[in-house]
Each structure stands twice: as structure tokens, then as C-alpha cells.
Amino acid sequence: MYLDVEGINELVKSYENNTKALKEELLKLCWYMRGGLDYNLAHMLSIEEREIIGKIVTEHLEVTKESGLPFF
């Protein structure tokens, strides 16, 4: 693959954005898990595992809203 300087800069920026999005996702999962999942372990999760945990969190948030029980 050949990229000029502008192409390289765009590629690096996209990598930085992807890295930031992944860190944000992992830190949110750690926060929702209240210490049940630490940041280092979160890095070892597969994409599928992160999606499943995210789905579980979303489901519990919805149940909590519907029931009026405290979540936080």
C-alpha cells in the first residue's frame, strides 16, 4: 500500500480515534461492572464478549428504568 504524507496522517488519526473509542468502551464496561471487571482484564475480552456484556448492561438499565429501582 502506498500513501502520501496526507494519507499517512489520516490513517494515524483514524487509528488514534479507534484506540480512543476502544478505551472509552472498556472503561464504561469497567464502571458498570463496579470492580467486577478491571481495566487490564477488559483488554483481554474479545469483541463478541464486549458486545454481550454491553447488551446485558443495556438490558439491566432498561429493567431498572421500568421498575423505578436505583441503578447507580
Q: How many domains does the chain have?
A: 1
Instruction: Give per-residue pLDDT as tens, 28-69.
Output: 999 988 889 999 999 999 999 999 999 998 998 888 888 887
Kindly state whether residue 24 falls inside one of the protein's structural domains. Answer: yes
Please indicate, yes or no, if residue 37 is contained in any of the structural domains: yes
Query: Does 49 fall in a domain?
Result: yes
What is the grid cell recorded at 54?
454491553
On whether the pTM is more than 0.85, the answer is: no
Q: Residue 56 belongs to what domain range?
A: 5-67
70: CB partners within 8 A, 6+ apart: 64
Q: Is the pLDDT of residue 71 over 70?
A: no
Cell of 15: 487509528
pLDDT at 72: 61
**Residue 27 within a domain:** yes
Q: Is residue 72 part of a domain?
A: no
Answer yes or no: is 57 within a domain.
Answer: yes
3-state per-residue secondary structure call for 4-28 = CHHHHHHHHHHHHHHHHHHHHHHHH
Answer yes or no: is 18 within a domain: yes
